[in-house]
């Protein structure tokens, strides 16, 4: 699966999450939203899918493939547009690697730039907090610490360079408190420390890193940026929800007040630190005040939504039709277009759109295109089956059929071993043009294993009867 597909199908999920969030954020447990974002994140990072016959990818392919067309140049200056794929029958797919040439460099540049920008902010943030000092008024802090049972050791420090508390560090988590806070206000201190503790317990520092990492690769997709902003906010909101669960619903006003007090200061952009941000504060306060105990309905609804979201991993197995459109010019200045359809038949049209000839693509990918007078105007050579990588391991063309001088048809497998043979009736001489000769193929034991269709001394269709795909 390539990055465009991952990005597109995650994009659909992201839009859905945004819509759900818009309408129902205060009616569903906030923790569900971070699960949903997690699914979107996985979709962006994992290139595999489960093959089933339905799912969001089918819809995607049907309606969105148009976006994914990219022109690429053939060696002699043709323009080729791939329109669809073919999968699942005896014809071939097409080598997808050809299609994204120069765009790959643009993408890589984007990844590098995005990564550099984040690295810059990360470095700047780190410089501010690394000079934090152990707290002096430690009494209440130690009291809170002694009640915590986290496996990892938490260090709590104070800095005069920040204005709101933050936490970072995965293996050695640290909470940095601003110097200008009231270290004697036990209630407020407990709220703040517990909030940061929830971040630590949930490994939010790690998730933030993964988000940034993924965003770098999907920099071109504005929906992924939306996901980045919203999922960070939702991490905070889910954290608040947890704090209220810990302290009890009747404390929610006190908690909201302490948030408002802390949030009255500004803080800079810190991509990896969980901290109190003023922009999102209003959303958080509302969410806190609207906190309600989780009802059965909301749990059921959440599970449904999550299952629906996970369907983004189901791979489409809808058959596509392989077509190829091409255009070219001849030395004499004639302009032609050709179209290859799913049966391997090529139709050649002139500049006026009138059909001038037809041809059949051989299973070796070659065909001679002629003009209205029968002169060969183009020798078509299509890169024949490297079977597409749709979550499966790419397989090389399985079988090649060749017609020898004596009219003997030989079919070889990928290793070059002869697996079947047949003979043409007319020993390689030209048939009256246009008639297809069906020839049975037998293996070394004389068992019929398939057939070839020969036309004009070329193999046009090859069918091997076993479970594997044949070309």
Partner 1 sequence: MKIKLFDSELKVMEVLWREGNLTAGQLALVLKEETGWNRNTTYTVIKKCIDKGAIERLEPNFTCRALITQEEVQEQETAELINKMFSGSPELFFSTFINSKNFTKEQIDKLKQLVEKLK
Of the candidate spans 157-165, 225-233, 274-282, 391-399, the one that interacts with partner 1 by CB under 8 A turns out to be 157-165
Which CA distances in Å does 24 have to 19, 20, 35, 301? Answer: 8, 6, 15, 11
Per rule CB under 8 A, count of chain residues that contact partner 1: 12
Collapsing DSSP to helix, strand or coil, 357 comes out as: strand
CA 299 remoteness from chain centre: 28
Of 158, 263, 312, 369, which one interacts with partner 1 (CB under 8 A)? 158
Which residues are 275's β-sheet partners?
A: 166
DSSP for 111-169, written as a single string: HHHHHHHHHHHHHHHHHHHTT-EE-SS-HHHHHHHHT---SSPPEEEEESS-SS-EEE-
Of the candidate spans 31-39, 132-140, 212-220, 233-241, the one that interacts with partner 1 by CB under 8 A turns out to be 132-140
Nearest Cα neighbor of 277 from 225, 321, 316, 235 is 235
Of the candidate spans 159-167, 254-262, 318-326, 340-348, the one that interacts with partner 1 by CB under 8 A turns out to be 159-167
Collapsing DSSP to helix, strand or coil, 358 comes out as: strand
CB-nearer residue toward partner 1: 179 or 245: 179
Sequence-distant (6+) residues with CB within 8 A of 213 are none
CB 233 within 8 A of CB 246: no
In the complex, the smallest distance separating the C-beta of residue 222 from partner 1, rounded to whole angstroms, is 38
CB-nearer residue toward partner 1: 268 or 404: 268
In the complex, the smallest distance separating the C-beta of residue 154 from partner 1, rounded to whole angstroms, is 13
Residue 181 contacts partner 1 per CB under 8 A? no
Q: How far is 181 from 187, CA to CA, in rounded Å?
A: 13
Question: From residue 68 to residue 107, what is the string marking binding to partner 1 with x (rule CB under 8 A)?
Answer: ----------------------------------------
CB-nearer residue toward partner 1: 76 or 160: 160
Of the candidate spans 65-73, 155-163, 209-217, 330-338, the one that interacts with partner 1 by CB under 8 A turns out to be 155-163
Residue 305's CB is within 10 A of a number of other CB atoms, namely: 20
Q: What is the DSSP letter of 431?
A: P
Q: How far is 441 from 401, CA to CA, in rounded Å?
A: 10
Of 71, 134, 334, 404, which one interacts with partner 1 (CB under 8 A)? 134
Of 31, 87, 114, 159, which one interacts with partner 1 (CB under 8 A)? 159
CB-nearer residue toward partner 1: 134 or 334: 134
Of 89, 131, 307, 343, which one interacts with partner 1 (CB under 8 A)? 131
CB-nearer residue toward partner 1: 161 or 392: 161
Of 76, 160, 186, 282, which one interacts with partner 1 (CB under 8 A)? 160
Alpha helix (H) residue ranges in 248-295: 252-262, 278-289
Of 113, 133, 355, 444, which one interacts with partner 1 (CB under 8 A)? 133
Residue 155 contacts partner 1 per CB under 8 A? yes
Of 152, 153, 161, 335, which one interacts with partner 1 (CB under 8 A)? 161
Residue 130 contacts partner 1 per CB under 8 A? yes
- Chain residues 424-463 in contact with partner 1, contact rule CB under 8 A: none
Residue 179 contacts partner 1 per CB under 8 A? yes
Of the candidate spans 151-159, 202-210, 336-344, 440-448, the one that interacts with partner 1 by CB under 8 A turns out to be 151-159
Residue 185 contacts partner 1 per CB under 8 A? no
- Chain residues 44-73 in contact with partner 1, contact rule CB under 8 A: none
CB 409 within 8 A of CB 403: yes
Radius of gyration in angstroms for the set of CA atoms belonging to the chain, rounded to a whole number: 32
Of the candidate spans 38-46, 49-57, 130-138, 163-171, the one that interacts with partner 1 by CB under 8 A turns out to be 130-138
Residue 201: both structure tokens together: 């317990």
In the complex, the smallest distance separating the C-beta of residue 131 from partner 1, rounded to whole angstroms, is 4
Residue 97: both structure tokens together: 């690697």
Which residues are 413's β-sheet partners?
A: 399
In the complex, the smallest distance separating the C-beta of residue 172 from partner 1, rounded to whole angstroms, is 10
User: Dihedral angle at the C-alpha atoms of 425, 429, 433, 439, nearest 10 degrees?
Assistant: 30
**Tokens 């990588």 correspond to what residue?**
389
Residue 153 contacts partner 1 per CB under 8 A? no
Q: How far is 97 from 238, CA to CA, in rounded Å?
A: 42
DSSP for 55-70, written as a single string: SHHHHHHHHHGGGG--
In the complex, the smallest distance separating the C-beta of residue 145 from partner 1, rounded to whole angstroms, is 16
Q: How far is 365 from 353, CA to CA, in rounded Å?
A: 24
Residue 175 contacts partner 1 per CB under 8 A? no
- Binding residues for partner 1, rule: CB under 8 A, are 127, 130-134, 155, 158-161, 179
């Amino acid at each position: 699966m390539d990055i465009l597909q991952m990005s597109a199908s995650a994009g659909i999920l992201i839009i859905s999450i945004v819509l759900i969030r818009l309408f129902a954020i205060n009616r569903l447990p906030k923790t569900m939203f971070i699960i949903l974002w997690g699914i979107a994140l996985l979709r962006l990072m994992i290139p595999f899918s489960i093959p089933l016959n339905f799912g969001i990818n089918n819809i995607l392919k049907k309606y969105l493939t148009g976006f994914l067309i990219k022109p690429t140049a053939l060696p002699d200056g043709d323009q080729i547009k791939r329109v669809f794929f073919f999968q699942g029958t005896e014809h071939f797919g097409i080598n997808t690697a050809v299609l994204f040439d120069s765009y790959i460099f643009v993408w890589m540049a984007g990844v590098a730039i995005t990564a550099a920008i984040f690295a810059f902010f990360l470095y700047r943030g780190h410089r501010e907090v690394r000079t934090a000092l152990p707290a002096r008024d430690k009494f209440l802090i130690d009291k809170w610490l002694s009640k915590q049972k986290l496996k990892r050791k938490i260090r709590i420090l104070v800095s005069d360079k920040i204005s709101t508390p933050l936490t970072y560090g995965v293996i050695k988590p640290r909470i940095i408190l601003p110097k200008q806070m009231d270290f004697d206000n036990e209630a407020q201190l407990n709220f703040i420390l517990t909030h940061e503790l929830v971040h630590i317990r949930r490994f939010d520092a790690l998730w933030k890193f993964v988000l940034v990492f993924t965003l770098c690769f999907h920099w071109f997709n504005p929906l992924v940026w939306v996901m980045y902003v919203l999922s960070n906010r939702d991490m905070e909101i889910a954290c608040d929800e947890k704090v209220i669960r810990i302290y009890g619903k009747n404390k929610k006003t006190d908690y909201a007040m302490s948030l408002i007090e802390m949030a009255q200061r500004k803080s800079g952009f810190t991509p990896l630190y969980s901290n109190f941000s003023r922009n999102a504060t209003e959303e958080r306060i509302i969410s806190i005040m609207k906190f309600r105990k989780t009802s059965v309905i909301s749990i059921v609804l959440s599970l449904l939504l999550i299952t629906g979201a996970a369907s983004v991993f189901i791979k489409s197995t809808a058959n596509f039709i392989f077509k190829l459109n091409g255009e070219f010019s001849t030395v004499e200045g004639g302009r032609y277009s050709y179209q290859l359809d799913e049966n391997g038949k090529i139709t050649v049209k002139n500049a006026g759109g009138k059909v001038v000839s037809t041809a059949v693509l051989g299973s070796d990918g070659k065909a001679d295109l002629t003009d209205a007078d029968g002169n060969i105007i183009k020798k078509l050579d299509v890169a024949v089956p490297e079977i597409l990588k749709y979550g499966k391991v790419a397989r090389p063309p399985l079988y090649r059929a060749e017609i020898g001088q004596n009219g003997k048809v030989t079919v070889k497998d990928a290793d070059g071993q002869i697996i079947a043979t047949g003979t043409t009736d007319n020993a390689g001489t030209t048939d009256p043009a246009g008639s297809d000769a069906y020839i049975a193929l037998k293996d070394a034991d004389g068992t019929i294993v398939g057939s070839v269709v020969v036309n004009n001394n070329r193999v046009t269709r090859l069918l091997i009867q076993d479970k594997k795909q044949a070309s």
